[in-house]
């Protein structure tokens, strides 16, 4: 296992080794540490975003935090640290490229952050998370609300009933399914289609179409 470039020097080498040990390599492994690290990362990233983006509202902060602590984002941080090369994996995971797998990298990063907390306490853990995430947090822009949320808020603002999303059909093999959805609104009476590779994606497309039509209708009322 290669040495990891990480912004904390461990006093307890056993904690460090455990944080980098996947369950496929036996026990003790990093599963319990990952559980603790998940909460620590969420809390400390929330604090960081709260400070860096003073004008962002609750919803915007929530969406930014979701971006920073997603599996993909955590794996990106882990790759920047060359964490994959330091992992202890079982033979099966080694052969299948587990050191590159997003979920394994993300879990190991969370486990390492928990290990920092147990090794040196809150302040050291907080400093570590800030070192790892501050630049990424500063670069984030408050993301726009998704189409379904915007449609819901638009209808609620006018005292109208909320849309219903109906699955019309799904087709294709399991690895390449296509979903057709209808977004149904009572007032104004609309039924807008949406298609996507997941039900969520299809609903978002249908909601976007509904938004455009409703805005045109409301504009013509003026």
The catalytic site residues sit at: 38, 110
Residue 107 annotated as binding?
yes
Distance CA 60, CA 142 (A): 5
Contact (Cβ atoms closer than 8 angstroms) between residue 6 and residue 112: yes
* Residue 34 counted as an annotated binding residue: yes
- DSSP code per residue over the chain: -PPP--S---S-HHHHHHHTB-GGG-SS-SHHHHHHHHHHHHHHHHHHHHHH-TT--HHHHHHHHHHHTSHHHHHHHHHHTTGGGG-B--HHHHHTTGGG-HHHHHHHHHHHHHHHHHHH-HHHHHHHHHHHHHHHHHH--PPPPPHHHHHHHHHHHTTPPPPEEEEEEEES-GGG-EEEEEEEETTTTEEEEEEESSHHHHHHHHHHHHHHHHHHHHHHH-
Q: Which residues pair with 190 in a beta bridge?
A: 185
Q: Residue 110, annotated ligand binder?
A: yes
For the annotated binding site for Mg(2+), the residues are 34, 107, 110
For the annotated binding site, the residues are 34, 107, 110
């Amino acid at each position: 296992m290669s040495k990891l470039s990480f912004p904390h020097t461990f006093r307890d080498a056993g904690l460090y080794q455990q944080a980098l040990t996947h369950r496929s390599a036996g026990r003790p492994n990093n599963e319990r540490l990952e559980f603790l690290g998940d909460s620590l990362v969420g809390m400390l990233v929330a604090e960081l975003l709260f400070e860096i983006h003073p004008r962002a509202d609750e919803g915007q902060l929530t969406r930014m935090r979701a971006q920073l602590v997603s599996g993909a984002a955590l794996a990106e941080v882990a790759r920047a640290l060359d964490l994959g090369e330091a992992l202890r994996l079982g033979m099966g995971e080694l052969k299948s490229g587990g050191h590159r797998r997003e979920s394994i990298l993300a879990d190991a990063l969370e486990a390492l952050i928990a290990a920092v907390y147990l090794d040196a306490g809150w302040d050291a853990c907080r400093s570590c998370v800030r070192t790892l995430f501050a630049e990424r947090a500063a670069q984030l822009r408050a993301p726009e609300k998704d189409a379904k949320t915007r449609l819901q808020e638009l209808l609620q603002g006018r005292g109208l009933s909320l849309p219903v999303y109906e699955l019309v059909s799904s087709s294709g093999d399991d690895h390449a399914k296509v979903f057709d959805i209808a977004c149904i609104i009572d007032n104004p009476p609309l039924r807008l289609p949406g298609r996507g590779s997941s039900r969520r994606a299809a609903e978002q497309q249908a909601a976007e179409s509904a938004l455009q039509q409703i805005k045109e209708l409301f504009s013509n009322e003026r």
